[in-house]
Structure 1
Amino acid sequence: MTSSFLKNKHLLWRAGFGPNLSDYKNLENIKTSDLWNSIIAHKEINTISFTTQIQEKEFSEISKLDAEQRKTFQQLRNKQNTELNHNFFMTMVQSENQFLEKMAFFWHGHFACKILNAPFNQQLLQVIRENALGNFGDLLIAVSKSPAMLSFLNNQQNKKAHPNENFAREVMELFTLGTGNYTETDIKEAARSFTGWSYDKDGAFIERKGIHDENSKKFLGKEGNFDGTDILNIILEKKETAKFITKKIYKYFVNEKIDERRLENLSNNFYNSKYDIKKLMTEIFTSNWFFEDENIGNKIKSPIELMVGILRTLPTSEVKMQSLMMYQKLLGQTLFYPPNVAGWPTGKSWIDSSTLLLRMKLPQIWSGSRALETTAKADDDVEMGLENAKKTKKNANTANFNFDWQLVQTTLADKNISESLLQKTKSLDKETIKKYAGEDVKKTIIEVMSTPEYQLC
């Protein structure tokens, strides 16, 4: 029988980024139902932004800048992106509204978008945060009208004389229906419907009537003079959309191995609720099967989940932006910079011979007991405030964090460290940990966080 303590940790890892240090004080005593009620009690949705300001420019204006002016402009934009990245990450670490943060992070990966325009990135993030636990239809439409997504998927070039199919294709393939539930003709007709969807230089959505195709279209069995909103609403009418989204949520929050009977029930309820995200997540997180042994400790943490989880357990007064960017790059997951429109991989894709070693060494490096021997490869597109490669290499051996070890040791001194920090302990080599750490709480924590078992949640 699964203990309440293990259930509570499981809930905090899946509906958030793991227990905060202070959570360990009462985590063994609180009822899981009461814990869930406290999780959903938080209502605030803060705005994540940046302080660096620059005068916005149209693409045509940027192209007229000389080399030095363009370099300066991009450096400032990179600084904005670095701030936005850092502030989003630290909100995941520090916010009491963990449920919102986890859902925002999930949708940030689902609606994968990679552009260098920081204000547009910020605007898309805010759209996601405001709708992360609301209605999926509202979220879909708002994201589809965001300048970040319209730019990333080339809808600025979608005109009635020369329709661009990229936006329409990805909306169906990756965001809603999934492959096999539409035809190439549906893509072409949807693209015609999205003609004219655009934005101004301040990021306000506009419909350019002069380049919109006003003729009748046939899409998913329906016919009419559709615009983009009509297309999205028709997509939402399809049960395949509810199943596609529910399946992705199940694989991310429950188990990559799908229970088809549960999936069918969840997706039907999601569809019948008219895509109520919070209701779907509540059904998952309050079900008995969610807490079955097969669903606990079976998920490989993504790099962001791993790093945020460590910092929630080991509080620190300062996390330097450049260091944080470097570790995101080294581990393969940089916020606002997915590898492609499909987003980041999941599961075993996070683990290879090089990243696994770094992931397991991370607690030692961050605590200063081991040097960082790897440097992030230069990348002009995602440099985003990371200082040049030479400076990165210079700082490599001092890229650690000043954790509040006194507070950590006081909080966890009377706790079973491995039971507190891990979801799976059966295969844990406790003798080796004891050999290296003895009774030292700090060393024990570092050793436990350096195990393969800590990679799982």
Structure 2
Amino acid sequence: MNNSKHIKHLYARAGFGITFGDLHDKQNWSIKKSVRKLFKASEKIQPLTAVTENIDLRPRRYNSLSDEEKRMLNQDRNAQEKALNDAWVKQMSIIDAQLREKMTLFWHNHFACNVGNSFYEQELNNIERANALGNFKTLLLQVSQTPAMLQFLNNQQNQKNHPNENFARELMELFTLGRGHYTEQDVKESARSFTGWAYNGQDGTYRFNNRVHDNGIKTFLGQTANFCGEDIIDVITGNKQTATFICTKLYRYLVNEVPDDDHVAQMADVFYKNNYEITPLLKFVFLADWFYDENNIGNLVKSPVELLVGLNRQFYISYQNPNVLMQFQRTLGQVLFRPPNVAGWPGGRSWIDSSSLMFRMKIPSTILNAGVIDFTGKATPEDEAYLAAQRKQQLNVIRRVQATPDWDRFLKELPENITHEDIARFLLEPELNKTVIDEVSRPGDIKTVVIQITSTPEYQLC
């Protein structure tokens, strides 16, 4: 039985896509076997280690630095930020553990955090990676105790007699229950419970400072006790609304931007009954018949990072200049480790507007062919000036972008007699429409056709 369409869909959602060679090898696998192998490939945890050397974590008073010291500090921070960004894009682009990285990307946005310390950002990212397929309660507790999150949501300043409610509020609104499922009084009582949660500014380790912790009785979500932060997390996860909230976000990420209440309820049952274990939940989704419904295939807009990583995996692209990848992310509106706010990137259709769509459609030809689709046929004298200008533009793009796709490797995976339509069917997730079929049925070599296909609006969908 040829399952290639469903396996392609599975890899588009549970990873960043599948190469032609891999799809050919797996096309007769059952969905059950494909899912099992997907999880098997993601068992290994490969942490990022881009920012490790000579890190001085001690806080420095920026105002007391000389101009030269400020310049050096900013230079170091920029270099670390680029190194971390580049390392993660590279890891997503080449690692077999696609599912773990795809879920790390989900948790990276769920626990949106933006602090000017790449070491703390890397630590948070590695915690999200280590627990990406593990237990949500463990992940939630560990994330809440990172210097990155304690600093970003001001819990470092949360002390008895002067409670700071920022972390307590976002914990419920954005990380667990969602708006409308707690009161302002719950926020106040939760904030009191998290007093004393802090980190050591010298070495960045978590520490509980009992001196500034409020040891009084608190009433939270209808329960009364001398709560501390861990108790609050237990009460929150004891409420099934947390399972429903997480499953709704996951449904939007993996299945459809418009949640189906029945499917989300099924997911929440599995998640809650399995004590917030993430792997059984994901297996349930990937093995559900409705995951493969026609209306759930090719209907999600790729995030900028998914678009870039998908191209990298598909065409084995290497970048000699990592700055370019960050520039692409900036222009498309998603720079890793720099979410716009604590709510993260809204995602979905909001990724696309008229200017970003034009830029998105230009990116494949920029990377794969220095910004130009091959001119086929004999050039007339009038064309010569145009072609000369195009060649000059190509050289400029090559110098700027410094990206090298491995066309030989990509083309070697294609069967000898493959049709242009079959290539389009493989590269695009949605069903082919007449416009695409007409476009690819024109004469042209395979490379030209591939660049045309990846430059369509349909290629933006997964």
TM-score (norm 1): 0.91
Aligned-partner SS, 1:258: coil
Residue 442 of structure 1 corresponds to: 447
- Cα deviation, 1:236-292, whole Å, max 9, x if unaligned, reads 110110110011111110111222112112102211110010000000001111111
8 A Cα contact 1:158 1:195, kept in partner? yes
- Quickly say closer, same or farther: Cα 1:48–1:56, change in 2 above 3 A: same
CA distance in 1, matches of 2:72, 2:60: 17
- Matched ranges for 1:133-282 at <5 A: 133-201=133-201, 202-282=203-283
Give the whole-Å Cα distance in 2 for the aligned partners of 1:424 and 1:57: 48
2:3 corresponds to = 4
Counterparts of 2:304 and 2:77 in 1: how far apart (Å)?
A: 25
Hey, what's the Cα distance between the residues in 2 that align with 1:314 and 1:94? 11
Distance (whole Å) between structure 2 residues aligned to residue 408 and residue 103 of structure 1: 27
Q: Distance in 2 between matches of 1:445 and 1:63?
A: 54
Hey, what does 1:365 align to over in structure 2?
366
Q: Structure 1, residues 23-63: CA drift from partner, whole Å, max 9, x if none?
A: 14324333332221211112110110215633414334554
Which whole-Å deviations, capped at 9, do the CAs of 1:322-367 have from their partners, x for residues lacking one? 1111111011000000011111111110000110001011111112
Q: Contact 1:113–1:148 at 8 Å: present in 2 too?
A: yes
Q: Residue 418 of structure 1 corresponds to which residue in structure 2?
A: 424
CA contact (8 A) 1:368 1:400 kept: no
- Number of the residue aligned with 1:324: 325
Q: 1:422 to 1:324 in 2, by over 3 A?
A: same
Equivalent pair of 1:24/1:420 in contact (CA under 8 Å) = no
Question: Would you say the 8 A contact 1:246–1:267 is kept in 2?
Answer: yes
> Tell me, what secondary structure is at the counterpart of 1:412?
coil
**For residues 47-86 of structure 1, what are the structure 2 equivalents within 5 Å?**
47-50=47-50, 53-86=53-86
**C-alpha separation in 1, matches of 2:6 and 2:160:** 55
- Residues 8 and 23, structure 2, Cα contact 8 Å, conserved in 1: no
Q: 2:317–2:406: 8 Å Cα contact kept in structure 1?
A: yes
Which amino acid counterpart does residue 430 of structure 2 have in structure 1? K
Q: RMSD across aligned C-alpha pairs, in angstroms? A: 1.8
Equivalent residue for 2:437, pick from 425, 430, 441: 430
2:12 is aligned to 13
Partner of residue 408, structure 1: 410
Deviation digits for residues 177-233 of structure 1 (CA, Å, limit 9, x no counterpart): 000000000001111111111101322101111111111111111111111111111
Q: 2: CA distance between counterparts of 1:396 and 1:344?
A: 31
- SS for the counterpart of 1:206 is strand
Deviation string, structure 1 residues 363-402 (Cα, Å, up to 9, x no partner): 111123427xxxxxxxxxxxxxxxxxxxxxx879731511
Task: Report which stretch shifted further, 184-193 or 414-423.
Answer: 414-423
| Alpha-carbon distance in structure 2 between the residues aligned to 1:238 and 1:402 | 50
Supply the distance in 2 between the matched residues of 1:137 and 1:280 (Cα, whole angstroms).
14
- For residue 410 of structure 1, report the CA deviation from its aligned partner: 1.6
Q: In 2, are the aligned partners of 1:303 and 1:332 still within 8 Å (CA)?
A: yes
In the aligned structure 1, how far is the partner of 2:368 from the partner of 2:253? 30
Larger mean CA deviation between 23-32 and 447-456 belongs to 23-32
> TM-score, normalising length from structure 2?
0.90
Greater shift in the superposed pair: 317-326 or 81-90: 317-326
Counterpart amino acid of residue 91 in structure 2: T
Q: What amino acid is aligned across from residue 453 of structure 1 in structure 2? A: E
Any residues of structure 2 matched to 1:373-388 within 5 Å, and which? none
The CA distance in 1 between the partners of 2:64 and 2:331, in whole Å, is 35
Overall identity of the aligned pairs, in %: 42
Give the distance between the partners of 1:286 and 1:238, measured in 2 at CA: 26
Any gaps of 5 or more consecutive residues in structure 1? 372-393
Structure 2, unpaired ranges of 5+: 373-395
CA contact (8 A) 2:173 2:179 kept: yes
C-alpha contact 2:16 2:309 (8 A) present in aligned 1: yes
For the pair 1:304 / 2:289, whether they are aligned, the reply is no
Distance in 2 (alpha carbons) for counterparts of 1:301 and 1:197: 37
Of 449, 452, 457, 2:457 maps to 452
The Cα shift of 1:22 comes to 3.4
Which amino acid is the alignment partner of residue 250 of structure 2? I
Q: Which amino acid aligns with 2:453?
A: V
Match of 1:390?
A: none
Three-state SS of the structure 2 residue aligned to 1:113 is: coil
Moved more, 70-79 or 270-279: 70-79
Structure 1 residues 199 and 254 mapped into 2: Cα distance closer, same or farther (>3 Å)? same
Contact map agreement 1:425 1:453 (CA 8 A) in 2: no
Q: CA deviation at 1:426?
A: 3.0
Q: Measure the CA separation in 1 of the matches of 2:400 and 2:63.
A: 40
| Cα contact 1:48–1:88 (8 A) shared by 2 | yes
- Relative to structure 1, the CA distance from residue 51 to residue 425 in structure 2 (aligned partners, 3 Å threshold; closer, same or farther) is same
For the Cα contact (< 8 Å) 1:160–1:211, is it kept in 2? yes
> How many pairs were matched up?
432
Tell me whether 409-418 or 259-268 shows the greater mean CA deviation. 409-418
Q: Which amino acid aligns with 2:445?
A: D
Say whether the 8 Å CA contact 1:78–1:116 is kept in structure 2: no
Rg larger in structure: 2
Distance 1:329 1:440 in 2: 33
Distance 2:164 2:458 in 1: 47
Q: Is 2:323 the counterpart of 1:288?
A: no
Aligned counterpart, 1:399:
401
